Structure 1
Amino acid sequence: MRVVSLVPSLTEAVAVTLPGVLAAATDWCTHPAGLDVPRIGGTKNPDVPAIVALRPDLVVANEEENRPADLAALRAAGIEVLVTEVRRLPQALSELDRVLRACGATWRPRWLDEAEAAWTGLAVPRRRSRALVPIWRRPWMVLGRATFAGDLLARLGVENVYAGHAERYPRIPLDDLRAARADLVVLPDEPYRFTADDGPEAFDIPAALVSGRHLTWYGPSLGEAAGVLGAALRAAHR
């Protein structure tokens, strides 16, 4: 079985579970550390001819991270493409199981069971926070409706102020963000790399700097994500 992954989360999941199956991955596939496979461009601009030349049995993709035109071109070349959709944690777990079985796994990996157990056994904090969750600046963009990251935060007691917005990743002027009556701003380090010196200064409310991989990736990182994110959120309230 030869698999090309166009999604960092799926790359990590396949590489950890089925070593040797990955034929290539994107430039953004940084985990697991030391992954040594050919790179075929970004998630939004993969080198389709290079992928075709690799003659994979399967390409794994995501409806949000990858462009329909690229997936259509791969299918037109006769390559099977599996596209995931992940908006909530239960969906992520089921999609991971589907992808791994399509890649040749005949078992459910332990890390997937551990990730499910970690989130299923989570005690929701009594104190709930209303939070802004920017993912970009210049222009400012935030989490809106029906996002995987928003669902994880909700399970940790954080209500996304823009969860009811018509768009999933709306652009919101900074003045409107400041007027949103949030009591916390959650700043991940990807896709925009928010840091202690770049982001918090725009707001006069506590800021939680969090790992973007733990907030937005669905894969082996899910097993520790609840603990890592929970610690960052608690620290912001101290």
Structure 2
Amino acid sequence: MRRLILAPLIALACAAAPARAAIDITDDQGTPVHLDKPAARIVSLAPHITELLFAAGAGDKVVGAVQYSDYPEAAKKIPRVGGYTSIDMEKVAALKPDLVIAWKSGNRDAHLGKLRALGIPVFINEPRKIDDVAKSLAQIGKLAGTEAAGAAAAEAFRKRHAALAARYSSRPPVRVFYEAWNRPLMTVNGEHLIADVIRLCGGDNVFAKLPMLAPTIDVEAVLAASPEAIVASGMGEARPEWLDDWRQWTKLPAVAKGNLFYIPPDRIQRHTPRILDGAERLCGQLEEARARR
């Protein structure tokens, strides 16, 4: 009798197991993504996505990545599938991924359409706020079957973010011009993740109201905005020489006060846990600016 009772229950549990393994999630573009089981072969189409995968405990599942996927050190050994705007579709297909994680702002829609046409699930990642980095870590952990690691990384990120916000977000505002590049002269608007970092530190992005996410501007616009601090990135760890080009404008408050600052791009331009390293550095720089008033 006991066997007669247990047998149907065991059969029911076995039948339900595959359903529990299936993953249904909505990506950052609002598109539903379905996986029959956690992804074991993942291709990353942006350097920040590669870094997020490692941070969420899924680094060993990444079989392909784009150029400049250089963090952590193990990411440098992953086979390349081109650049984020020049994806080699044949290389991606040859890797037989069961998931591609893409970047809406960096990857071309035509490439993503071709991947979907091949039957490869595509998950779009597009963080716009600091909190979205934690969300991305949790999502990636779920997609890769490393849910516990992803959730732990997300929680640690949120705690550090909250501590920085408590310390700096209510400080007296500092008018900031963020110089993403010099030729052409580029900045970010208020919807960009970097603008959220500026807000976290009590900064006021002087170009927040521009309509484009990463607009091109001119020197006259910067002079008219009269920023109290200029923060630049560049291409690597070295401080860009062009940051000092602003010194010719001696009446510009940022120049007059000596508030020309630099943050390595991978600490503030990548949508990863390391953005809080950049935030901590920026917050300290804006404190210097306040002290020079």
TM-score surpassing 0.5?
A: yes
CA contact (8 A) 1:111 1:223 kept: no
> Following the alignment from structure 1 to structure 2, what is the Cα–Cα distance between the partners of residues 196 and 85?
27
Q: Which stretch of structure 1 is more off in the superposition, 156-165 or 224-233?
A: 224-233
Matched, 1:209 2:250: no
Matched, 1:5 2:44: yes
> Following the alignment from structure 1 to structure 2, what is the Cα–Cα distance between the partners of residues 7 and 67?
12
> Following the alignment from structure 1 to structure 2, what is the Cα–Cα distance between the partners of residues 87 and 15?
20
> Following the alignment from structure 2 to structure 1, what is the Cα–Cα distance between the partners of residues 225 and 237?
23
Structure-2 residue corresponding to 1:118: 160
> Using a 3 Å threshold, how does the CA distance of structure 1 residues 83 and 196 change in structure 2: closer, same or farther?
closer
Which residue identity does 1:169 align to in structure 2?
A
> Using a 3 Å threshold, how does the CA distance of structure 1 residues 131 and 103 change in structure 2: closer, same or farther?
same
Alignment deviations for residues 187-225 of structure 1 (CA, whole Å, 9 cap, x no partner): 0134x8883522232254221101222212222314534
Could you tell me which of 139, 145, 151 is aligned with 2:190? 145
The percentage of aligned residue pairs carrying the same residue is 24
Shift of residue 91, structure 1, vs aligned partner: 2.4
Matched, 1:103 2:144: yes
Which residue identity does 2:206 align to in structure 1?
V
CA contact (8 A) 1:185 1:207 kept: yes
CA contact (8 A) 1:12 1:219 kept: yes
Shift of residue 231, structure 1, vs aligned partner: 2.9
CA contact (8 A) 1:128 1:159 kept: yes
TM-score by length of 1: 0.90
Structure-2 residue corresponding to 1:18: 58
Larger radius of gyration: 2
Aligned length: 237
Alignment deviations for residues 8-39 of structure 1 (CA, whole Å, 9 cap, x no partner): 12201212412310001111111002421101
Structure-2 residue corresponding to 1:200: 244
Higher relative contact order (CA 8 A, sep 6+): 1
Which residue identity does 1:30 align to in structure 2?
D
> Following the alignment from structure 1 to structure 2, what is the Cα–Cα distance between the partners of residues 5 and 88?
21
TM-score by length of 2: 0.74
Give the secondary-structure state (helix, strand or coil) at the position aligned to 2:49. Answer: helix
Could you tell me which of 198, 205, 223 is aligned with 1:178? 223
Could you tell me which of 91, 94, 108 is aligned with 1:50? 91
Give the secondary-structure state (helix, strand or coil) at the position aligned to 1:49. Answer: helix
Shift of residue 4, structure 1, vs aligned partner: 0.6
CA contact (8 A) 2:51 2:272 kept: yes
Which residue identity does 1:131 align to in structure 2?
V
Give the secondary-structure state (helix, strand or coil) at the position aligned to 2:102. Answer: strand
